[in-house]
Copies of this chain bind each other. A is one copy, B any other.
Amino acid sequence: MAVITIVGAGMMGSALAFPASENGNDVRLVGTPLDREIIDTCLKTGRHPKFEKDFLPGVQYFQIEELSSALCGADLVIGGVSSFGVEWFGDFVLPKIEDSIPVLSVTKGLWDTEEGELLSYPDIWKKKTEAMGKKLSINAIGGPCTSYELVAHDQTEVAFCGEDMTVLRRLKKWMETDYYHISLSTDVLGIESAVALKNGYALGIALTIGLNQKEFGIESPLHYNSQAAVFGQAFKEMYKLLELQGAWSLENIAVGTGDLYVTVYGGRTRLVGILLGRGMNIDEAKEALSGVTLESLVVAKRVARAIRIKASKGKANLADFPLLIHVDEIISEGKAVSIPWNSFTFEK
């Protein structure tokens, strides 16, 4: 059907090679400069080093020096970089893509400005490439999807967002399978804002797991009342952030809520939260997890910083975000965990 070039061979970018190639598309997986060993492994074994399943035989692998060949004749470029790769992707990859080729990014997050505005990555990339005289169609993926479950063909539902519904429908046709279900939205800022806080709030929920372990023992069974209380508060704050962004809709908040649900159970953010809840400070927790970078929490810091600026200008109310502010104090200032339960209750 189409030639799909994925730039970024991390887990999420690489996972998308599965629905893409199973649909009969020609798939080319290109490593960033940080992915050199991953691509070497793929070339040798036909499998991503972190996956338990081989890629389909037709998938081709490219080192970054071969980017131009990998882009030649592509119908779609999928951007699979992390938040840390956003500038690199904008400076190094996007200028090489022809305007007629749509881009679909899996990088979730927001970028804060000194004025306290929060911009989506597609918006940043669009401005940057327009300044170069380009007119790219830059789309993005939001919603709950862990890479290894996508590889396993678990039923998964995500949202593709972008400015042009016609383009989005084409992307859906290429990527949708009987396990990868795709909603379409022209509200890019809404979808990206809805999922921006999921890592910070997944950490907030995990704090309660650690707090309970401190109280009842590390081997005690999982408890859920306190997780649910923080989940409910996280939901309220995600809603308030969407309102601040002028981007509230039922669909957006539903995507964000599902994404938060899946993130509570995934990976290192949860582990960090549990360690913090048990009583470590953020440096001790990072140390215990061997200097993990916590890329996922960068966005929570940025949103907190932006909301503080907005609040100082009278454009936001910090009292709407007690959980975010506390998570930020923990990860940015090294404060001890002390969940502000009373600020979660309401009288109405």
Known: A341-B155, A345-B183, A348-B185. A254 touches B233 (CB 8 A): yes
Could you tell me the distance between the alpha carbons of A11 and B248 in the complex, rounded to whole angstroms?
A: 39
Interface residues on A, range: 35 or more
Known: A155-B211, A225-B146, A225-B156. A345 touches B181 (CB 8 A): yes
Q: Which of A62-70, A259-267, A300-308 sits within the interface?
A: A259-267
Q: Which residue of B lies closest to A153 (CB)?
A: B215
Could you tell me the distance between the alpha carbons of A347 and B239 in the complex, rounded to whole angstroms?
A: 21
Q: Which residue of B lies closest to A346 (CB)?
A: B183
Q: Is A294's CB within 8 Å of the partner chain B?
A: no
Which residues of chain B have C-beta atoms less than 8 A from A184's C-beta? 345-348
Could you tell me the distance between the alpha carbons of A239 and B337 in the complex, rounded to whole angstroms?
A: 32
Q: Is A293's CB within 8 Å of the partner chain B?
A: no
Contact B232 A157 (CB under 8 A): yes
Q: Is A14's CB within 8 Å of the partner chain B?
A: no
Known: A225-B144, A250-B239, A254-B236. A231 touches B347 (CB 8 A): no
Q: Which residue of B lies closest to A260 (CB)?
A: B228
Could you tell me the distance between the alpha carbons of A344 and B155 in the complex, rounded to whole angstroms?
A: 12
Could you tell me the distance between the alpha carbons of A229 and B181 in the complex, rounded to whole angstroms?
A: 9
Interface 1/0 per residue, A179-213 and B, CB below 8 Å: 00111111100000000000000000000100110
Q: Is A216's CB within 8 Å of the partner chain B?
A: yes
Q: Nearest chain B CB to A94's CB is how many angstroms away? A: 27
Q: Is A333's CB within 8 Å of the partner chain B?
A: no
Could you tell me the distance between the alpha carbons of A249 and B222 in the complex, rounded to whole angstroms?
A: 30
Q: Nearest chain B CB to A343's CB is how many angstroms away? A: 10
Which residues of chain B have C-beta atoms less than 8 A from A165's C-beta? 347
Which residues of chain B have C-beta atoms less than 8 A from A231's C-beta? 144, 257-258, 261
Which residues of chain B have C-beta atoms less than 8 A from A157's C-beta? 225, 228-229, 232-233, 341, 344-345
Q: Which residue of B lies closest to A229 (CB)?
A: B157
User: Which A residues have a C-beta under 8 Å from some C-beta of B?
Assistant: 143-146, 149-150, 152, 154-157, 159, 165, 181-187, 208, 211-212, 216, 222-229, 231-233, 235-236, 239, 249-251, 253-255, 257-259, 261-262, 265-266, 339, 341-342, 344-348
Q: Which 9 A-B pairs have the closest CB atoms?
A: A232-B258, A144-B228, A157-B229, A228-B262, A155-B226, A156-B225, A183-B345, A228-B258, A149-B225
